[in-house]
Amino acid sequence: MTQSETELMLRGYGLTTAEFYYRMPDYPNVLNTFIWQEYDLAPDHDALLKFVDFWKAEIEGALHSVRFTHRKLIRAGEWRNVTGEFTLH
């Protein structure tokens, strides 16, 4: 069963964005980049590590380096359940 993005964020997941620098298979002196995004849990970053393992096993371009950032989009105190709404005027 797949969870929605909102459900993941409420469970503590944040958006991880990674920039992969890799060498072109036919031109090893040329670096190229690839951007990857997924909802992941910090500090373990299981989804990111799983993708790095996939890259090493399946992609021909050797990894040079990986830069990543992680941002929780919903934090404690920012989300609240609203049961009603009042409109003035």
10 found inside a domain = yes
pLDDT value, residue 55: 95
pLDDT value, residue 80: 64
Q: Quote the domain boundaries for residue 54.
A: 5-71
pLDDT value, residue 58: 95
49 found inside a domain = yes
pTM, full prediction:
0.76
Token pair 């105190």: residue:
77
Check: CB of residue 13 under 8 Å from CB of residue 74. no
89 found inside a domain = no
Provide block-wise average pLDDT over 10 residues at a time, the chain (89 residues): 79 91 93 95 92 95 93 68 67
88 found inside a domain = no
54 found inside a domain = yes
C-alpha distances in angstroms, 74 versus 10, 14, 47, 65, 66?
7, 8, 19, 29, 25
Number of domains in the chain: 1
pLDDT value, residue 1: 54
